A and B are shown apart, each in its own frame.
Chain A
C-alpha cells in the first residue's frame, strides 16, 4: 500500500473549497428532504390503516340507509336515528349500561389505586421482617401463568355470596364488587408505585419521622404528592382496563341490567341482528370516554407503560 490519499490532485483554492462544502451540504439537505417525505408517506399509510376502521364505523353509524358495509370516505346522509335506536330500540338498557360502566370504573380505579399506593409504601420505605419474602412472592405471582384464574375466581365469587339475591340495592353493590374485586390487587401497580416511592429522598421521610409524623401522615403528605405522576399514569391504565373489560362481567353477571358497556355491546350485537348501524352507534359511544381519558392523560400513560417494562 502506498499513500491512502488520492494521488496528485491540484490544491484547492479557498473559494473552490467553500463551493464544494456548500454543494455537499445542499445535497445532504436534499437527501434529508426526500427521506422525510418518504417517512411521512409511510407514517400516513400506517395511520390510515390504524384509524380508518374507527372512522368508517363512525360515519356508517350516522348513515340512515344504504349499503351498510361499503367502503367510503364520506357518509351518505347524516342522521341521529341509529343513536336514538340504541337507547330505545332494544331490550338492552343502554343508559343503565353507561351508568354501570361509570360505577365500575370509579369503584375499580379508586380501590385499585388506593390499595396499591398503600401497600407499596412499606415495601419501598419501611423495614420489617418478611419484606423481601413478600416482595419476591408477589413478583413470582406476576410471572406465574394463571389459566385457572377465570374458573376459580368464578367459584370464589359465588362462594363469597356476591351473587346472592336479597335486596335490589345491596344486590347491585355486591354485583359491582364481584366485577371489580378480582382485579383490585394489581401487582403491576404495586411494582410501579414501589419504583416511584424509591425515588423519594429518605431524608425527607426521616425528618418527618423525627418531627413525630405518623406513617399514615407521611404516606399522605409526602409519598402521594411526590409519586403523583406515577399514580395518575396507573389510574389511567386502570380506567382503560376496567372500562374495556367485558369477559369477566359477562361470565359473572346473569342480570343484563348490571352489565358494563363493553359487555352490553356484545349483548346488543346479538339481539340487534336487523340494525348493525345501531350497534355501530353503540360502539362509538363505548369508545368515546376511553379516547377522552387516553388523550388527556396520554403523556402519563405512555410513561407508565415504559416504566412497566424498564422497571
Chain B
C-alpha cells in the first residue's frame, strides 16, 4: 500500500478511491469547490486567524514595520476602560431594543396583512422597501427629516407643542440611541414580516373556525393558536436579528456619530486612532460572542439541515 492510499483509508476516503467512477466524482467535487474554498480561506478564515495575532500586537503606522507583540496589553486596556464597558452596554441596549421592536412590528404587520384586501399585493411589496433600500439613502433621509433646522418632523412636533429643543434628536447621545433603535426597527421589520407572513399563511383556517365555535375571542385565538404556531419562527427571527444587530456598523454610524457601539468602537480604534491592535482585539471579542450565537443557532435549528 502506498502512503497515499493508507492515508486515504485512515480518513475513511478509501471508499471513494476504490471505484473509478466514484473517484472521478470525488475529484471533480474537489475541483469545483476549490475556488470557493480558496477564496473563503483567503478573505475570511486567514483574516480571522491573522486578527487573533494582531489583537496581541501594537501595529505601527508604517506598513513596512512589522507588528510588535505586546501580549494581553490590548485586552487589559479594554477590560479596564469604562469606554469599552459603556460601548458594550450601548450595544446590548441597541441590539435587544431593535431586535424586540422589529420582531413585534413585523409580527403585527404580518397579522394585519394575513387577510385579503384590495391592494394587498402592492402593499406587501411596498412594505419591503425599508429593508431593500441602500442604507446610505435611508440613513440620510432620516437625518434630514430629523434635522432640527430644516427637518419636517421636529417642526411638526413643535407645531403640536411636543418639541422645543434647538438641539437635534441625533446630536445628543441620550436621544440618539432610542432614535437609532427605532430606525433599525423600521429598516428591519420587513425581514420579520416576511418570515411571519409565510408562517401565518400556513396555519389552517379550520383551527380558527373551530376556536370561534368554541367561543374564543380574538385575544384567546392569538394566545392559543397564533403564538404557539409561530413559536419556531419567532425564535429564528429573534436569533438571526440578534446575531446581525450585534455586529451592525453602517446602520448606526451613518445615522449618527453619537452612539458608540462595539463595532463602531473597533472601527474608530483601528481607523481613526490607528490603534489597529486594539481594534483587532475588539473585533475578536465580537467574533467570540457572535460565534457563540451562531453555534446556538445551528444547534437549535440546523441539526437536520446543516
- Are A and B associated in one complex? no
B interface residues with partner A (beta carbon < 8 Å)? none
Residue numbers of A with Cβ under 8 A of B are: none
